Structure 1
Amino acid sequence: MLNIDEPAHLQPKVALFRLGFRPFFLFASLFSLLSLGIWGGLLSGKFSLPSTLNPLWWHGHEMIFGFVCAVVAGFLLTAVQNWTGRPGIKGLPLAGLFMVWLLPRFLFILPFSIPLTAIMAIDLLFLPLTATLLAISVIEVRQWRNFVFIPILGLLTVFNGMSYYGLTTNQLNWMNNGLYAAVILVAVIVALLGGRVIPFFTERATKWQKQSPIPAIEYLSFASLMALAVSLFLADTLLTRIFAGIAGLVLLFRWSRWGWRASWSVPLLWSLHLSYLCIPIGLMLIAAGLPLSVGMHAITVGGLGGMILAMMSRVSLGHTGRSLTPPRPMVLAFALILLATVLRVLAGILSAWFIELMLTAIAFWILAFGCFCYCYGPMLCRVRADGRPG
């Protein structure tokens, strides 16, 4: 892990804005507690959103473009410092980017109606601004390997705009297909990063020896996921099932070579391995012809949510100068997010128990990410334990 040394007087006084992971990890997690609490209230009839807002769209949009994309931004804005050796965004510029993300989240749920075009205009700025900041660092050192994340963030912005278009024109297909395609595009990011870090972390923490990637498998995994994203946007059911099956099998084979058998004694490893496994499982559920929502929630709750929880736990320890041993409650949190995944998948299959399973899954998510906020919130708001910048 690379640490950029800077004089103390150049570091922001507010520790929360010393590096990108700090505000985005903490407030994305807090926001997930709020948004899923509201979603549970909507399902149980105890809460309502402004009448102009589609609740299903709001839930899907805010979990993808509110929660997930904030964590992705926090991770990339932190990792780019390690990749390029250039200091990451901090201080007032980071606080400004954070506010661009935060403002739409609260404008949506205010008890009075805010013009959707105003919220949309702010929200659609976030990912392009993040991509621009990444591009400046990557291009300056000509590190083209990591340039791939810039067009992916651009495509996510396109899918976000398409989902807004569906909302404003009351076209359900545009709303759903834009969100579904965005999920798969985020899965591409997770697949890229997972292929780099999971085998590396496993080798460092165990006696397992890392194997060299197979170029054809690497290429096919990303090509099949991108083809799946396109098929979802086009709403072609047959192509969606075909590409989901191909991507699921390829990602499963890829994961099988990452030393999962050696991970069971290390919570920061088995949490990564099992969460990543939820992505090919979700893809196979889609390929099998189950309702699209079933496979998508295996990917979003277990694959994205679980990977986010595990990665935030590890990155937060390393980048605050602490040993890579998570607080004890986090072991329970890792298990709870996997249980929430099982329950959410079952809710889409066992319709007679839908509400009960959904509310229990929501409760498990809230407990899991509540543990993260409780354990890591103080770390993220304080200077590094070793006194170094970041």
Structure 2
Amino acid sequence: MNQLRDTWSHLSAAPHRSLFLAGTLQGVLTLLWWVLDLAGRLGLMADVMVWSIVPIWAHAFLMIYTFFSFFILGFLFTTFPNWMNGKKIKPQQYMQVCMLMVAGTMLFYAGLFAGKLIVIAGIGLMLMGWGKAAILLFDVLLTAPAEDKRHAWVAAIAFAAGGLGLGAFLLWVVTENGAFLNFSRQAGIWFFLLPIVMTVSHRMIPFFSSRVLTDYVLVRPYVLLWLMVGCSALHGLLQLLGYSQYAWGGDLLLAGCALYLSFIWGFFRSFSVRLLAVLHVAFAWLGVSMLLFALQGLLDWQLPAYRHGLGLAPLHALGIGYFASMVIGMASRVTLGHSGRPLVLDNLTWWLFIGFQAATLFRILPDIVPAIAFLAPSFYLVAGGIWLSCFLLWAAKYMPIYWKARVDDKAG
């Protein structure tokens, strides 16, 4: 009993502990489920499961609204008070959010086997947790004394947009109206995930770089952040309106901004410090992925017959290369720093991060290189297997930290 009490005490000692733990477990579960589904479709398993939700949309939902969202909430609940010198979010508040989100996610998995009614109940619980989280974030934002709240405003609005996307997915499950599914997909990427991750990158990468690189000039041009967020919103809006072929201009502008920031933030210098390099490498994928989106848009505009010439390569360069790699980099740093451990990336974590880069390449190459397109299903399975293997090892290393006391005996 005392051990359980101590474990709960440690898990609830800081917002990132429970939410990062939930995100880590979800990262393992969602890729395990996806790899098993891919293996079944390739005939590598005796039976192919029939799910209550089309697998590709269930996969997208689990990645956007559960895996990434747990890490985003753990980060924002921690940083919002720090960014703006605002009031701390209380343990009972962030633990309630975590438990609602976890319960909803588990019901969603159960519903994949047992039927849509359970899926609906699961998403309903997630929406309750999401709504409570939004209220908490906006409460800190509106009451904090800081004058500069620009990053926080973007993150809070994007999180609210994610709630709309989550609600739209629920409406799709209930009504089977494709318009709700389309909104959920586009909002999840272009109105929620991309604006938040870009905002966090804009805030934290130059700051972390300035702490460890000598003679570093901290440059954080807000005009480029506004341009990138605007281009992300424009892409999503054009997708919703059915004019995706005209999104290439904004995609190209976003890519240019991201690549320029990679350069002025010291991409090449970052490799002298591994814990910094992982963030810079992850951010570089933003520029690469948006170049791929721009190329796909140009093909769609000028050569409609080749509108799907790059398949889902741009999306996975963004999702695995940028989002997932940034999660690994940021979560490793936050976990080490907030547990009293040295801010040093060990060899295991470094090679696991390299593994994520390999998973990205295995996923996107068959969609880009026509000569290996016939091997695409096998490449997809390999990419999923690499992700799952790397994340399992990352989880085994970092998960126990969340339910143990800090090594420096400090609170939090």
Q: Which one of the candidate residues 320, 329, 351 is aligned to 2:339?
A: 320
Aligned partners of 1:347, 1:132: CA distance in 2, in Å? 43
Give me the TM-score of the superposition, normalised by structure 2.
0.86
CA contact (8 A) 1:31 1:67 kept: yes
Report the more deviating stretch, 346-355 or 84-93.
84-93
Deviation at 1:241, TM superposition (A): 2.2
Give the number of aligned pairs: 380
Aligned partners of 1:13, 1:370: CA distance in 2, in Å? 23
Q: Which 4+ runs in 1 deviate beyond 6 A?
A: none
Aligned partners of 1:375, 1:234: CA distance in 2, in Å? 45
Deviation at 1:208, TM superposition (A): 4.5
CA contact (8 A) 1:182 1:229 kept: no
**Cα pair distance change 1:341/1:51, threshold 3 Å:** closer
> Which residue of 2 is the match for residue 3 of structure 1?
none
Aligned residue runs from structure 1 range 161-240, under 5 A: 161-172=167-178, 174-184=180-190, 185-240=192-247
Report the more deviating stretch, 373-382 or 240-249.
240-249
> Which residue of 2 is the match for residue 107 of structure 1?
107
Structure scoring higher RCO (CA < 8 A, sep ≥ 6) equals: 1
Tell me whether 1:95 sits opposite 2:104 in the alignment.
no
Aligned partners of 1:286, 1:242: CA distance in 2, in Å? 10
> Which residue of 2 is the match for residue 26 of structure 1?
21
Deviation at 1:87, TM superposition (A): 5.7
Q: Which one of the candidate residues 149, 158, 161 is aligned to 1:155?
A: 161
* Structure 2 unmatched ranges of 5 or more: 1-5, 297-308
* Deviation by residue 1:109-164 (Cα, 9 ceiling, x = unmatched): 22422514322321222322112111222222244332332221111111222233
Deviation at 1:48, TM superposition (A): 5.5
* Structure 1 unmatched ranges of 5 or more: 1-10
Give me the TM-score of the superposition, normalised by structure 1.
0.90
Q: Percent identity?
A: 23
Larger helix proportion of the pair: 2
For the aligned residue pairs, the C-alpha RMSD in angstroms reads 2.2
Deviation at 1:219, TM superposition (A): 2.3
Aligned partners of 1:169, 1:241: CA distance in 2, in Å? 32
Q: Which one of the candidate residues 275, 279, 287 is aligned to 1:268?
A: 275
Aligned partners of 1:256, 1:232: CA distance in 2, in Å? 30
> Which residue of 2 is the match for residue 7 of structure 1?
none
CA contact (8 A) 1:181 1:233 kept: no
Aligned partners of 2:176, 2:207: CA distance in 1, in Å? 46
Aligned partners of 1:52, 1:256: CA distance in 2, in Å? 46
Aligned residue runs from structure 1 range 1-390, under 5 A: 14-45=9-40, 46=45, 51-86=51-86, 88-110=88-110, 111-113=113-115, 115=117, 116-143=119-146, 144-145=149-150, 146-172=152-178, 174-184=180-190, 185-289=192-296, 290-291=309-310, 293-349=312-368, 350-390=372-412
What secondary structure is seen at the aligned counterpart in 1 of 2:410? Answer: coil
Report the more deviating stretch, 110-119 or 19-28.
110-119
Aligned partners of 1:384, 1:341: CA distance in 2, in Å? 34
* Deviation by residue 1:209-232 (Cα, 9 ceiling, x = unmatched): 124333432321221122112222
Aligned partners of 1:93, 1:215: CA distance in 2, in Å? 32
